[in-house]
Structure 1
Amino acid sequence: MGEPREPEPAESGDSKLPKIAEQQEDPPQKDAAADFETAIDAAGFGMFNILLLVAAVPAAMGTVYETSTMSYILPSAECDLKLSLLDKGILNAITYAGMISSAILWGYLADTKGRRKLLIVGYAVDTLCVLGGALSQNRIQLMVFKYLGGFCMSGPFAVLMTYLTELHGRKHRQRIMMMVGIMFSIATLTLPGLAMVILPQTWNLRLWNLTLTSWQVFVAITAVPSFLSFVLFFFFPESPKFLMSKGRNREAMAAFKFMYHLNSRKPKDSFPIKLLANEVIVPEKRHKKGEVVPAEFKIPIESAETQDPECQDAKKSSLRSGFTQLRPLFTKPYLGLSLWVYLLNFCVLLGQNTFRLWLPQLFASINEYELLKEGQSDSTSICNILEFSVNRTQSQLEAALRRDPNAECVVNITASTYTNNLIVAAAGLVAYMLAGFLVNLVGVKRIMTLGLFAAGCCSIGMYWSSSAVSTVAIASLFVTMGSISATSVISASVNLFPTSLRTMIVSLEMMFGRLGSLLGNIFFPALMGLGCVPPFFMISSFMLAGCLLAAFLPLKNKAALK
């Protein structure tokens, strides 16, 4: 260790020789600049990662609640908000409209402002939107707040996965993504449980000049996970991957040290990595003086801050680079394939999310029909249920518009109304846990094709359902097959495209899927008014169309990643 210090005293006497000595000693330097993967591996896995996963639980719940809450309150809010079938469809769909309209904005902000800031701001604003929806006194107010909620949640929904991925090393990433999927499934399971406890209550609370009923209390409680996420993410660092990509190596090093300290219980200064590589994604940089600095140049932490002014040029060109990234999707090798994948996800999510979001209303109608027809021989076939639901909703709406004092709007909501939803959600959780094993065993393409075919058959099979038990069984099988297929579509698209296009493909694919969810939830109630067959035939048609698209998808089982 004494040799490197010898040239320093001679520096004042002779300006040339010490420089030659330093150049010769640099290559064998032990503290070489480490890239992101090396640094994240050195930070280890431990208490920090466990706390991060604990914080991710309410975040996952908040994203699920934002898209699914409306489907549970529609039967309870029907009288208070004077909802028609079309109003119910719009309330189910409007969150997706908000997500579609803000997808590009959030994608840009996530890549320029950072993951942590976006999560904090997104969940904070979503909390306000959910509370605004809970205080709504008419359907227009509720629609506006649900649209804004979807607009705000689109960012955290996408960035949460990226943030968790970038805070784990390669060894743990796949396992973490599986755990996040299970969190989403558990969140889906908690929603009908919460509905069973709160929605049957006959509360009539006064808050200032506002009247709050049980469905409004239910909506307000669903804001708790978003609020917890907003608070908890303050205690976590920004993604070091993002920081290094922006040249902010000093902050990235502080994040790594914080993670290392919590995981190893050792002092931050004992972190083995002392120098981080320059991972700014710019091919070359030309300074004002005219010299060219290669992008691969390794910078010390102390000089990282000098890069920030240069990063402003990168921000100015980010829009141009975004269009450059999109260009290959409009060229011949990938144009047809990308359109194929978009159409496939459009069909799958149109059927899956339409059926899933109308199930609480369907089960509530079954429960109410059985209570009214108790002791009678009428069969609880799905056609009888739909006819009953459409006629009752229409007559109550007309009575409310006439302000008829003799026609009282009454909806019978009991805990058993949501028991069937709990069964279907549990089936979805089991399906997700089996999905990883089945995909590896059977292959993505086969399981996607078979799952969509089974879901399409289940949808049209609803026509012949003659009891509540058979309806629940068919619905559980549909949701199970649909969820596995939807997951398989994303997995297939990752295998079909090279690394440089995957993020963009998945983003556009999800946008088309949300468009399908939006249209499906508006068309479904319109078709309900025409009869028993049309709504289920629509869902079945799109699922079977997706089955054909999946069957001819140019994907080999267990293909290597491009």
Structure 2
Amino acid sequence: MDSKNVPEETKDESKNTKDPMQILEEALTLCKFGKFHVRLLAATFCCSIAIMSVTTTTSYILPIAECDLEMNIMQKGLLNGMPFFGQISASLFAGFLIDAFGRKIFLVGGNGIIFLGTLIEGSSQTYLMLVFTKLLEGLALSLCFSAVSTYVTEFCHLRVRDRILLINSSFVSLALVIAALLAWAILPIQFNYTIWSGYFELHSWNLYLYVCSIWSFLAFVLYLTLPETPKYLLSHGREKEAIEVLKTIYAENSGNKKDTFPIFSLNKSGLIKPTKEISLKKQIVNGLFETKELFRKPLVFKLILFCFITFAALIVFTSLRLWFPQVSTIIENYNIDHEEPARFCVMINDYMGGLQPQTLVTNTSATYECIPKLSGAETYRNGVILGIAAVISVGISGFLVDYFGQKILMFVLLILCAIFSTILYWTNASLQIAILISCTCALLQTALSLQQNIFIRYFPTTLRALAISIIIMIGRMGSLTGNIIFPILLNLGCMAPFISISVVSLDIKRHEFLHARQHFTQYLKVKKVSEFT
């Protein structure tokens, strides 16, 4: 009997042996959701607003600053696209660094640079100075953007992770609302303060940028108080530090002492391995060695698909979102100058045909003076509508995704985007135009959020930030392309950019169709089986 019992005990031990990442999931579950995660979400919220402010604030200052900075329509497009050029330049390198050296250092450093950059941006006196600071902010943004979603999810156990990602997506939508509300509160103020005549003058748009810098400062401070993620620490052999972080989270959430945390090791053997000191050179070599796995089957094919969808979607989303305040201002001013409403494209073409300095006649001579088309309450209200539509869309998708799956939902959202952007041509009421553009942007943002949920799960921890960075880099190429092409297409005619938007949305839909059809077939089979049983 003794000889029979020995192999049975060995079997049981092998069955009870768990992977370190599985033990980490159990440890995170024991930590629960509490005060620590509230602090984490507060930092994520501030960081999301700071990130969105880098790209969004430009769209609100374009109408009011066009004369102060002597901008034409093409220069406006370049200024809108400059942060994305900065991201393209650094995002791939940033992803490698985030995977090699951790998430926290880049979240702290990135938000610190954005804060300083926004202060300089708020002090801009020339167009070139504003372009340069937007480029600097784009470089810093690439350090944060790749890390923020990875950082927040790696502190959460599997049961709440999807909800946390949706909350993170809603923060981006809320950032649009906050940017519009701040613009509404500050930009209409008659603020002109001269510190050094002809060299340093501040206007309401400078003040608006100063106020927006607060969010990156708050994110900088909050991230300083948070630790590195235990998943990153464990994946880099720093188990002792990972245990200490888990104890800290457990103590803060439960109110118990750290010593009462029931898990003492994340290792298969149950013993804590001493943390090895690894040189900078060794870390870079290890990082490069891990990187090559991303470009092998099957990861490389998924990476290409995600890159294409993100590129095409961001051409549409970023162009509409960043040009929406300018388009809304055009419509608002047209309705003021004309008694009868006109179709959308008639209003846009009227603005494009009148892009000439207005003549100011005096007693002695005629001079040319730039008179800006200022935004009114309607433009800022439309910006709030856009943000609220995005929040609602993300919220509803959170319920629908459990029933239909992410791929099917993305397929439906992209079809609706193509329909809404096409209908724009036949609209003439400003509220209808605002709703159609807001719905198109909201649905596209939701589709991108769903895709983010997919690829965060698909790529392993050691390659996750790099994969996200590559996808973001390709996506930002789409954002930059869209912002440069949009004014060129406007010069060719109003309908050109919006027909292009519809075509791109349909092309994304075509690439999603095969995956959605397969997923929907599986869904119907499961449903029939459940009904039968």
**TM-score using structure 1 length:** 0.81
Letter in 2 for 1:231: V
CA distance in 2, matches of 1:132, 1:224: 13
Query: What displacement does 1:494 show?
Result: 6.3
Matched, 1:437 2:407: no
Letter in 2 for 1:371: I
Secondary structure of 2:277's aligned partner: helix
Query: What displacement does 1:124 show?
Result: 0.3
- What does residue 464 of structure 1 align with? 426
Determine if contact 2:330/2:373 at 8 Å carries over to the other structure.
no
- What does residue 543 of structure 1 align with? 505
Determine if contact 1:127/1:226 at 8 Å carries over to the other structure.
yes
Matched, 1:102 2:98: no
Distance 1:201 1:314, change over 3 A: closer
CA distance in 2, matches of 1:250, 1:132: 42
Matched, 1:231 2:239: no
CA distance in 2, matches of 1:542, 1:414: 32
Determine if contact 2:92/2:473 at 8 Å carries over to the other structure.
no
- What does residue 7 of structure 2 align with? none
- What does residue 475 of structure 1 align with? 437
Distance 1:520 1:540, change over 3 A: same
Letter in 2 for 1:357: L
Letter in 1 for 2:104: R
Alignment of 1:242-261 (within 5 A): 242-261=232-251
Matched, 1:342 2:307: yes
From 253, 259, 275, give the equivalent of 2:265: 275
Q: How many residues align?
A: 502
CA distance in 1, matches of 2:329, 2:155: 43
Distance 1:390 1:45, change over 3 A: same
Determine if contact 1:248/1:308 at 8 Å carries over to the other structure.
no
Matched, 1:169 2:169: no
Query: What displacement does 1:359 show?
Result: 0.7
Alignment of 1:235-384 (within 5 A): 235-277=225-267, 299-300=271-272, 304-305=274-275, 307-309=276-278, 313-328=282-297, 338-373=303-338, 376-377=339-340, 379-384=341-346
Query: What displacement does 1:186 show?
Result: 1.4
Query: What displacement does 1:451 show?
Result: 2.2
Letter in 2 for 1:345: T
CA distance in 2, matches of 1:236, 1:501: 23
CA distance in 1, matches of 2:405, 2:451: 12
From 104, 119, 138, give the equivalent of 2:107: 119
Secondary structure of 2:193's aligned partner: strand
Distance 1:396 1:425, change over 3 A: farther
Alignment of 1:442-521 (within 5 A): 442-491=404-453, 505-521=467-483
Matched, 1:410 2:372: yes
CA distance in 2, matches of 1:359, 1:545: 23
1:23-70: CA deviations, max 9, x gaps?
A: xxxx99x9x997422333333332212222222221121112122111
Letter in 2 for 1:549: H
Letter in 2 for 1:317: N
- What does residue 80 of structure 1 align with? 68
Between the two proteins, what is the percent identity of the paired residues? 30
CA distance in 1, matches of 2:373, 2:140: 32
Matched, 1:151 2:120: no
Secondary structure of 2:483's aligned partner: helix
Determine if contact 2:103/2:229 at 8 Å carries over to the other structure.
yes
Query: What displacement does 1:299 show?
Result: 4.4
CA distance in 1, matches of 2:236, 2:402: 37
- What does residue 526 of structure 2 align with? none
Letter in 2 for 1:254: E
CA distance in 2, matches of 1:310, 1:106: 19
From 212, 224, 228, give the equivalent of 1:222: 212
Secondary structure of 1:205's aligned partner: strand
Determine if contact 2:88/2:473 at 8 Å carries over to the other structure.
yes
Query: What displacement does 1:88 show?
Result: 1.0
CA distance in 2, matches of 1:492, 1:46: 26
Determine if contact 2:95/2:468 at 8 Å carries over to the other structure.
no
Stretches of structure 1 lacking an aligned partner (at least 5 in a row): 1-26, 278-295
Determine if contact 2:146/2:465 at 8 Å carries over to the other structure.
no
Matched, 1:188 2:150: no
CA distance in 1, matches of 2:191, 2:249: 47
Distance 1:262 1:495, change over 3 A: closer
Distance 1:158 1:218, change over 3 A: same
Distance 1:340 1:474, change over 3 A: same
Distance 1:222 1:397, change over 3 A: farther
Query: What displacement does 1:496 show?
Result: 7.7
Matched, 1:529 2:491: yes
Query: What displacement does 1:311 show?
Result: 8.8
Distance 1:221 1:457, change over 3 A: same
Alignment of 1:53-92 (within 5 A): 53-92=41-80
RMSD of aligned residue pairs (Cα, Å): 3.1
Distance 1:117 1:408, change over 3 A: closer
CA distance in 1, matches of 2:190, 2:209: 15
CA distance in 2, matches of 1:344, 1:201: 41
CA distance in 2, matches of 1:224, 1:55: 13
Alignment of 1:8-23 (within 5 A): none
Determine if contact 1:326/1:504 at 8 Å carries over to the other structure.
no
**TM-score using structure 2 length:** 0.86
Query: What displacement does 1:430 show?
Result: 0.7
Determine if contact 2:95/2:466 at 8 Å carries over to the other structure.
no
Q: Larger C-alpha radius of gyration, 1 or 2?
A: 1
Shifted more, 380-389 versus 485-494: the winner is: 485-494
CA distance in 1, matches of 2:458, 2:517: 7
Determine if contact 2:169/2:449 at 8 Å carries over to the other structure.
no
CA distance in 2, matches of 1:177, 1:162: 10
Shifted more, 255-264 versus 127-136: the winner is: 255-264
Secondary structure of 1:237's aligned partner: coil
Distance 1:371 1:158, change over 3 A: same
Distance 1:200 1:536, change over 3 A: same
